[in-house]
């Protein structure tokens, strides 16, 4: 073992350009890292077009690469219509490799995609491994339906990458809630690389301004959040229908549409909101933690970050999970309901406005997640910091130099 480098560096790759989940998870991890290790610098590679709207702690920065979005047919398209997809992917890969070459990180943390979007980080990983950088894959608690994930990873040749390229695999959850790799066939050598950290606890940032409530909203209120909002149409429609029906909940609701909701859809929803006395809406709030902390209850789709916030702020929650194209949300919500951590309505059940209204009305009487004992549930960031400290303390020797030293010995 050796001492921690004088100026340690961590590079984080976040592939997604649409939705907020991946960036918000990586940002929470980065902030925890710099809070725990003196002089540590974290750089995030991201294609998210609104990344500059977020606050970052000192010693956390980002490099934005050209963005792409995934179409419904599974293909990718550049956010800039004047660029072709091949040109965009080549630019992304080049920026990532050159950034990594100059930044020279001690740890490279890859979020979700073992080889990156369409294999774009393979060259970067190979280059950093030659330099002795520790290569780590970070996975959320639920990836998808096991059979679908198995086929996807076979197509992407993911398991050989885990075997050949990665030093460790961090799963930001607990196996007793869900094991995302349970159905994946992989050698024991890869299984031994897996560490279950627990969920990533969130807090209201100390120096962040408190999010302002619309004038029409008084506490207590229900927070309705769609995450990025690109796929939040159904949730918002069902909530508004609940407030439009004869059994409308008494608690006012604050709906956060999300920055990626289609403008015409948002306009239609806003017109419905304007006709309701107990509902207000905003498009986006970078300090969503502040709203979550003040809410009497939460209605959400149950993405990973929202689930972490519900647990962290100990909020009674109603989850209406998305069921396609990935089954991630319904798998997570179903298991959380079994444990008593949240209430859940399926898309079919939430279509009945009275059922949705009843579920929202029951939120204040619902059990809070903190009343359910799950050991290690929110230890994720503490464990990530512990793992980072262990990796930084290990001697950073490139494979070529390691073999040369062995020959000399």
The CATH fold of domain 222-371: Rossmann fold (3.40.50)
**pLDDT for 288:** 87
The per-residue pLDDT for range 145-160, each reduced to its tens digit, is 989 999 999 999 999 9
Tell me if the bond preceding 26 is cis, omega within 30° of 0: no
**pLDDT for 399:** 54
Q: Give the Cα separation of 2 and 62 in Å (integer).
A: 29
**pLDDT for 254:** 97
CA nearest neighbour of 407 among 205, 399, 270, 256: 399
Domain boundaries of the chain, sorted by first residue: 9-201+378-408, 222-371
**pLDDT for 74:** 64
Q: Give the Cα separation of 79 and 333 in Å (integer).
A: 32
In DSSP terms, 46 is beta-bridged to 14, 64
Low-confidence ranges of the chain (pLDDT < 70): 1-3, 17-19, 72-74, 207-209, 397-409
Collect all residues with Cβ–Cβ distance below 8 Å to 275 and sequence separation of at least 6. none
The highest-level CATH class for domain 9-201+378-408 is alpha beta
Q: Give the Cα separation of 390 and 384 in Å (integer).
A: 10
Q: Do 54 and 23 form a contact (C-beta atoms < 8 A)?
A: yes
**pLDDT for 409:** 36
State the Rg of the chain over Cα.
Answer: 22
Domains 9-201+378-408 and 222-371 share a fold: yes
Q: Do 120 and 151 form a contact (C-beta atoms < 8 A)?
A: no
**pLDDT for 1:** 43
In DSSP terms, 195 is beta-bridged to 170
């Amino acid at each position: 073992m050796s001492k921690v480098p004088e100026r340690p560096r961590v590079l984080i790759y976040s592939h997604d350009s649409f939705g907020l989940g991946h960036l918000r998870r990586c940002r929470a991890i980065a902030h925890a890292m710099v809070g725990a290790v003196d002089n540590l610098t974290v750089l995030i590679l991201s294609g998210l077009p609104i990344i500059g709207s977020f606050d970052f702690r000192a010693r956390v920065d980002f490099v934005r690469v050209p963005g792409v979005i995934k179409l419904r047919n599974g293909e990718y398209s550049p956010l800039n219509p004047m660029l072709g997809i091949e040109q965009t992917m080549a630019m992304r890969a080049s920026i990532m490799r050159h950034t990594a070459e100059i930044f020279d990180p001690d740890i490279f943390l890859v979020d979700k995609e073992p080889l990156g979007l369409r294999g774009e980080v393979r060259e970067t990983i190979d280059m950093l491994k030659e330099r002795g950088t520790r290569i780590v894959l970070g996975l959320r608690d639920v990836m998808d339906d096991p059979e679908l994930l198995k086929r996807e990873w076979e197509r992407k040749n993911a398991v050989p990458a885990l075997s050949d390229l990665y030093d460790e695999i961090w799963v930001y959850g607990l196996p007793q809630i869900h094991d995302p790799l349970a159905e994946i066939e992989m050698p024991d050598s890869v299984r031994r690389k897996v560490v279950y950290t627990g969920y990533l606890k969130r807090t209201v940032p100390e120096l962040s301004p408190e999010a302002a409530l619309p004038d029409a909203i008084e506490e207590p209120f229900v927070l309705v959040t769609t995450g990025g909002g690109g796929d939040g149409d159904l949730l918002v429609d069902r909530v508004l229908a609940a407030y439009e029906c004869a059994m409308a909940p008494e608690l006012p609701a604050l709906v956060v549409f999300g920055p990626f909701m289609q403008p015409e859809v948002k306009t239609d929803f806003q017109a419905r909101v304007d006709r309701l006395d107990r509902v207000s809406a905003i498009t986006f709030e970078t300090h969503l933690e502040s709203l979550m902390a003040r809410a009497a209850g939460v209605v959400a789709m149950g993405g990973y970050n929202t689930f972490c916030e519900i647990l962290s702020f100990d909020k009674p929650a109603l989850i209406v999970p998305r069921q396609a194209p990935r089954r991630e949300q319904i798998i997570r919500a179903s298991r959380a309901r079994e444990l008593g951590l949240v209430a859940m309505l399926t898309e079919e059940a939430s279509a009945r406005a009275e059922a949705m209204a009843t579920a929202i009305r029951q939120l204040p009487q619902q059990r809070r997640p903190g009343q359910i004992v799950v050991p290690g549930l929110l230890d994720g960031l503490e464990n990530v910091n512990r793992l980072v400290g262990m990796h930084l303390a290990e001697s950073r020797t490139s494979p070529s130099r390691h073999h040369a030293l062995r020959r000399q010995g």
